[in-house]
């Protein structure tokens, strides 16, 4: 979620007015009873994930990363058909990132690995896990229910709360995307080396929203870190692709695309007046943010233009994540999706937190998003560097790492127009081939699902009828998209 834009919208919204199997009832998961998590098990006995304990953490270390370690435990929850694990990435005893890991329902020994992060910056990946593509969903007050279209249908998948201070993560916070890249690379290296069954397994790094800013840096850190691994005789990480959903990769193009979404018929009929839609923002932002980056002038132009088009949209009371519907409920409480309140309530239950191994020092009331992190990133102008973010994507493509950029067609916040524009403008050796390709329809089950363009490892795709949280709105279509992508097939 792009909270630096939504902060304005929130306040205005407040002023204007297949069978699922329940896994949790009355604070318990099926037959699983929460156990108190001891501080540590004997890590010398660990040779595979299967040997991990439910009752205590095992600590994993790597000689190349003396400041990093992983605490991990087996956790029987959410999907009783697979093995699940939770834990922390500990960095210098001052920063601690929480993660969930679920094995594949298909063939965990052979299936690819997916790393998932949500955005914010500062919003927990519990949204991805419990609302979108996780093995269980919390959509009402009755707790988790089995999700048949989970992304662990054919992959092993991580969900991580990052940066520090997000979700169940705790410790010294950071304020820039670059700060987090090395920690993620270290985590992945330690995990893959500690559990030999994943050695050489294809890795796909995925996320949405502000993940469009995070992932190019995280994936680049993993790729560059392979040089260190090779020098020390260690197997490299087999990074295959980056998957960005409704991402904020180019904030300048995204803000300008709001005019298209509200003032033209690219997705819906125009909703704002002609006078409101006449803007000088494009030239101002080009001069201050692109041609010559000036921190003060770019920040002023960005804030002005965001407000110029964001304020009128907020007054419509339409959902910023889905232009086809009004906001459902109190924005600050649910962000237009009531199930987000249920997820937070569920993750505040003491027995659930005990089962997951959440550190006792983490605040008792779970918050999906941390406003301090949001404000820190905003103050550092982290999102106002689209050129270097796109340069990282270009560099990954040049090195054979494929990139999928998908967008739910109904999203306003990180819409398909802005994402298509930056992919068409990306400077890399495959640009001419990519630009020459026309958008083509892609289908799932014989029905048109959206449009796509692909060349030289870069793919852009839209998902019709979906908003910002595309796997929530269109779970089957999103799963098929992922399966085709991982298999190397055309969408």
Enzyme catalytic residues:
209, 411, 468
User: Exposed, middle or buried, 227 (CB in 10 Å: 0-12/13-18/19+)?
Assistant: exposed
Alpha helices (runs of H) in 251-366, residue ranges in sequence order? 251-263, 274-277, 281-285, 295-315, 331-334, 339-346, 350-356
Token pair belonging to 250: 């180019």
Q: Measured between alpha carbons, how far is 444 from 76 in angstroms, rounded to an integer?
A: 33
Buried b / exposed e over 123-133, threshold 16 CB at 10 Å, is bbbbbbbbbbb
Dihedral angle at the C-alpha atoms of 241, 462, 5, 168, nearest 10 degrees?
Answer: -50
Tell me the C-alpha to C-alpha distance, in Å, between residue 133 and each of 125, 130, 196, 216, 410: 11, 7, 26, 21, 18
Q: What single string gives the DSSP state of each residue in 38-86?
A: BS---GGG-SSGGG--SSBPEEEE-TT-TTEEEEEEE---S-TTS-EEE
Q: Measured between alpha carbons, how far is 394 from 206 in angstroms, rounded to an integer?
A: 17
Token pair belonging to 92: 């210098």
| Residue that the structure tokens 């959902």 belong to | 319
């Amino acid at each position: 979620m792009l909270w630096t834009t939504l902060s304005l919208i929130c306040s205005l919204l407040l002023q204007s007015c297949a069978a699922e199997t329940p896994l949790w009832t009355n604070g318990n998961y099926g037959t699983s009873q929460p156990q108190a998590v001891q501080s540590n098990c004997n890590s010398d006995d660990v040779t595979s994930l299967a040997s991990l304990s439910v009752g205590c953490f095992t600590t994993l270390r790597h000689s190349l990363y003396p400041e990093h370690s992983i605490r991990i435990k087996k956790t029987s929850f959410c999907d009783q058909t697979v093995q699940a694990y939770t834990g922390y990435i500990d960095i210098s005893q001052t920063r601690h990132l929480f993660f969930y890991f679920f094995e594949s329902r298909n063939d965990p020994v052979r299936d690819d690995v997916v790393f998932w992060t949500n955005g914010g910056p500062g919003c927990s990946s519990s949204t991805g896990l419990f609302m979108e593509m996780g093995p269980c969903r919390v959509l009402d007050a009755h707790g988790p229910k089995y999700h048949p279209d989970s992304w662990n249908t054919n992959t092993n998948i991580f969900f991580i709360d990052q940066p520090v201070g997000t979700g169940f993560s705790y410790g010294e916070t950071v304020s820039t995307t670059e700060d987090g890249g090395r920690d993620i690379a270290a985590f992945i290296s330690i995990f893959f080396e500690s559990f030999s069954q994943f050695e050489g397994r294809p890795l796909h790094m995925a996320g949405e929203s502000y993940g469009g800013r995070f992932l190019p840096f995280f994936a680049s850190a993993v790729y560059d870190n392979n040089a260190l691994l090779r020098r020390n005789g260690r197997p490299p990480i087999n990074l295959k692709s980056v998957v960005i959903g409704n991402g904020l990769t180019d904030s300048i193009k995204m803000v300008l695309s709001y005019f298209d979404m509200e003032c033209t018929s690219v997705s819906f009929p125009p909703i704002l007046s002609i006078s409101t839609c006449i803007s000088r923002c494009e030239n101002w932002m080009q001069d201050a943010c692109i041609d010559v980056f000036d921190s003060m002038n770019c920040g002023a132009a960005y804030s002005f233009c965001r407000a110029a088009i964001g304020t009128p949209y907020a007054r419509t009371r339409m959902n910023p994540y889905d232009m086809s519907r009004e906001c459902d409920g109190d924005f600050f409480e649910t962000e237009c999706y009531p199930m987000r309140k249920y997820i937070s309530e569920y993750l505040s239950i003491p027995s659930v937190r005990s089962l997951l191994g959440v550190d006792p020092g983490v605040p008792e009331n779970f918050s999906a998003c941390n406003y301090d992190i949001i404000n820190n990133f905003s103050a550092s102008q982290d999102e106002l560097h689209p050129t270097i973010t796109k340069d990282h994507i270009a560099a990954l493509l040049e090195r054979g790492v494929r990139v999928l950029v998908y967008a739910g067609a109904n999203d306003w916040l990180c819409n398909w127009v802005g994402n298509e524009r930056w992919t068409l403008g990306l400077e890399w050796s495959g640009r001419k081939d990519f630009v020459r390709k026309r958008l083509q329809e892609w289908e799932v089950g014989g029905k048109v699902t959206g449009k796509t363009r692909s060349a030289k490892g870069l793919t852009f795709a839209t998902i019709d009828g979906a908003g910002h949280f595309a796997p929530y709105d269109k779970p089957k279509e999103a799963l098929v998209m992922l399966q085709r992508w991982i298999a190397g097939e055309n969408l």
